[in-house]
């Protein structure tokens, strides 16, 4: 269960879940489980992939990578030494860029606020450069039947 520990007793631990339910977990299960204490975090990892459309050329890609790196390093909550921005792969529908760094925030809401701000800054860079974020697509090719050829069953 994910939530806040409210009480540790002799037999069980009471946890208040994110949706405010109170559950009791037997201490025997707690002793066997991997427990992450999120309140002890000093930083959180930002790890996202941005897919640019295939009409992005190599010069634009280089500029995009540089601008994202600069933007991240200028942000107060980003650990500058941890910034990692790389053109990772030619994906099925996009040129995929991995963007990773550590944010100096422990609180989940603060983490999500900074994540949102980074996402919006990336969207601004994409728009300013005239690029577009790719979306999965499928090409369908329709063959024309030769004149007079009818398919069986029609």
90-122: pLDDT as tens digits: 999 999 999 999 999 988 899 999 999 999 999
Whether 55 and 120 share a structural domain: yes
Pairwise pLDDT comparison (5 vs 116), residue with the higher score: 116
Whether 17 and 55 share a structural domain: no
Buried b (16+ CB within 10 A) or exposed e, 18-45: eeeeeeeeeeeeeeeeeeeeeeeeebbe
Residue range 15-32: mean pLDDT, rounded: 91
Whether 12 and 65 share a structural domain: no
Sort 92 into a burial class: Cβ within 10 Å, 0-12 / 13-18 / 19+.
exposed
Domain that holds residue 115: 44-128
Whether 106 and 60 share a structural domain: yes
Whether 26 and 65 share a structural domain: no
Domain count, the chain: 2
Whether 29 and 58 share a structural domain: no
Whether 18 and 92 share a structural domain: no
pLDDT in tens, 25-83: 999 998 998 888 877 778 999 999 999 999 999 999 999 999 999 999 999 999 999 99
């Amino acid at each position: 269960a994910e939530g806040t520990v409210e009480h540790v007793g002799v037999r069980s631990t009471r946890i208040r879940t994110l949706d405010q339910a109170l559950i009791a977990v037997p201490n025997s299960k707690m002793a066997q489980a991997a427990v992450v204490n999120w309140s002890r975090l000093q930083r959180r990892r930002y790890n996202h992939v941005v897919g640019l459309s295939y009409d992005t050329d190599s010069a634009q890609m280089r500029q995009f990578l540089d601008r994202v790196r600069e933007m991240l390093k200028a942000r107060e909550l980003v650990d500058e030494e941890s910034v990692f921005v790389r053109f990772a792969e030619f994906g099925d529908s996009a040129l995929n860029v991995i963007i990773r760094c550590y944010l100096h925030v422990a609180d989940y809401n603060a983490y999500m606020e900074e994540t949102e701000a980074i996402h919006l800054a990336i969207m601004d860079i994409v728009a300013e450069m005239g690029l577009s974020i790719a979306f999965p697509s499928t090409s369908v090719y329709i063959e024309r039947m030769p004149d007079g050829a009818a398919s069986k069953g029609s």
